[in-house]
Amino acid sequence: MKKDWSYSPAPESTDHIHIAVKNDLFINGKFIPPEKGKYFETINPANEEKLADVAEADKADVDKAVKAARKAYEKVWSKMDPAERGKYIYRIARLIQERAREFSVIETMDGGKPIRESRDIDIPLVSAHFFYYAGWADKLEYAFPGKKAKPIGVAGQIIPWNFPLLMAAWKIAPALATGNTVILKPAETTPLTAMKLAEIIQEADLPPGVVNIINGDGKTGRALVEHPDVNKIAFTGSTDVGKLIMKSIAGTDKKYTLELGGKAANIIFEDAAIDQAVEGIIDGIFFNQGHVCCAGSRLFVQESVAETVVSKLKDRMESLIVGNPLDKNTDIGAINSKMQLDKIKMYVDIGKNEGGSIHQSSCKLPEKGYWYAPTLFTDVSQSHRIVQEEIFGPVLAIQTFRTVDEVITKANNIPYGLSGGVWTDKGAKIFQVSKAIRAGVLWANTFNKFDPTSPFGGYKESGMGREGGLEGLMPYVHLV
């Protein structure tokens, strides 16, 4: 008799969740309908069912939001006693903690990520981020020796769909702490948690106009970037769009920070703790369905252990649970959108056509919704497109190496420079390699760890500026 070792379903309950059928724009402290009256749908990518309608902001709405932010900046926020400013931000942090489960469930329903991740990683980090930056508000004079930090003004912030609320926190918290006001534009496939955040901002009694949240697609983002009364753009997203933003604001006085794409090298040396490294590789590439700009999507394994590592990796991939994101046992949830799923499929075809050997987990994928099985490629080299370009999905490209110098050269031979991983038991080697990798975040014997106190951001075409930590204040101040 064959025993069935599969887990029983353990779904997170959704009966306490209230999602408004219609979500308006949050401008000047109020929810208001868009000028043109246009709404778009947001769906649950795990079952393709509609969750809600969301207001689409056009140029006139953007202008309204910028005016509200400008007024709040001039009249209230930049003049407020910094300690009082901090208290508002602390209050937001606390309210998010209180309503954490609600946020986690909505994040998972709207974006497709496993509840285990939204519950244990995304939402706790969101409140931690607000909590950390709240305390900076009245301590800025200690942050930049020899200089005074002045706010910039009105910040336009555009965020992606992979960590919707976390990215909102990364953007809003430091901007508010330093005395700026903001207009946030979430991604069009994941607008719902930001709308809940708007509720909290009302509840926290933040002065109207300090935080404005408007939804829409690239057109809305563009109107925000091009608005003449915006002083600062903070963008997280693709390198292509980042470059467009740089071009579009060239010649203006707008400041900007960009957190763009990546193609991180995850390097496994023969003296690493192999089982631990395999877990790290899994976490590096399959965390959040691989929708992670710092994902460890290029694996470099030292030749002597390559066979063992790849075989263990295949075993471990087989045990990953792919399916209902609301199930607490789920490891890999739904792909965020049909568009993203098509992109992943396109890259996998490219990988196969270029001669890579593919291996996929044999997991059964649900019929409705957008899904992709954990995938790895061997027999690929530096010139393959799946090695050079960001896929943003659960697809790992594996190469081998012999020497430290060789792997450093290969790891750096790419336009990106966001993150990297090093696995070895030798501390000296960790420092040698992590110093030589041209990237902003290096994980030693771990991967994909985040913390509000830890600066995050890229070298080269992975962007400029840092978010998190003291460095994260810098993009929101003028030093005089």
Residues serving a catalytic function are: 259, 293
Q: Residue 205 or 425: which CB sits closer to other proteins?
A: 425
Q: What is d(CA 387, CA 468) in angstroms, rounded to the nearest whole number?
A: 29
Q: Supply the minimum distance, in Å, between the C-beta of residue 399 and other proteins.
A: 22
**291: amino acid identity, one letter:** H
Reduced to 3 states (helix: H, G, I; strand: E, B; else coil), residue 456 is: strand
Q: Tell me if 145 contacts other proteins by CB under 8 A.
A: yes
Q: Work out the number of other CB atoms within 10 angstroms of the CB of residue 83.
A: 11
- Quick one: which of 99, 443, 475, 477 contacts other proteins (CB under 8 A)? 443
Q: Are 260 and 237 in contact (CB under 8 A)?
A: yes
Count of residues touching other proteins (by CB under 8 A): 47
| H runs (alpha helix) in 319-376 | 338-353
The answer for 268, left when phi > 0, alpha when psi is -120 to 50, beta otherwise, is beta
Q: Residue 85 or 466: which CB sits closer to other proteins?
A: 466
Q: Tell me if 457 contacts other proteins by CB under 8 A.
A: yes
Q: What is d(CA 139, CA 89) in angstroms, rounded to the nearest whole number?
A: 14
CA 217, 330, 293, 318 torsion-angle sign: negative
Site for other proteins in 221-260 (CB under 8 A): 239, 242-244, 246-247, 249-251, 258, 260
Classify residue 208 as exposed, middle or buried by CB count within 10 Å of its CB (0-12, 13-18, 19+).
middle
Q: What is d(CA 171, CA 94) in angstroms, rounded to the nearest whole number?
A: 18
Q: Tell me if 280 contacts other proteins by CB under 8 A.
A: no
Q: Residue 340 or 462: which CB sits closer to other proteins?
A: 462
Q: Supply the minimum distance, in Å, between the C-beta of residue 471 and other proteins.
A: 5
- Quick one: which of 165, 175, 206, 430 contacts other proteins (CB under 8 A)? 430
Q: Residue 80 or 246: which CB sits closer to other proteins?
A: 246
| Sole window of 104-112, 160-168, 360-368, 456-464 interacting with other proteins (rule: CB under 8 A) | 456-464
Q: Tell me if 415 contacts other proteins by CB under 8 A.
A: yes
Residue 74 has what DSSP assignment? I
Q: Supply the minimum distance, in Å, between the C-beta of residue 324 and other proteins.
A: 28
Question: Which is nearest to 279 in space by CA: 315, 242, 253, 250?
Answer: 315
Binding site for other proteins (CB under 8 A): 128, 144-147, 239, 242-244, 246-247, 249-251, 258, 260, 415, 430, 434-435, 438-446, 449, 451, 453-457, 459-464, 466, 469-471, 479
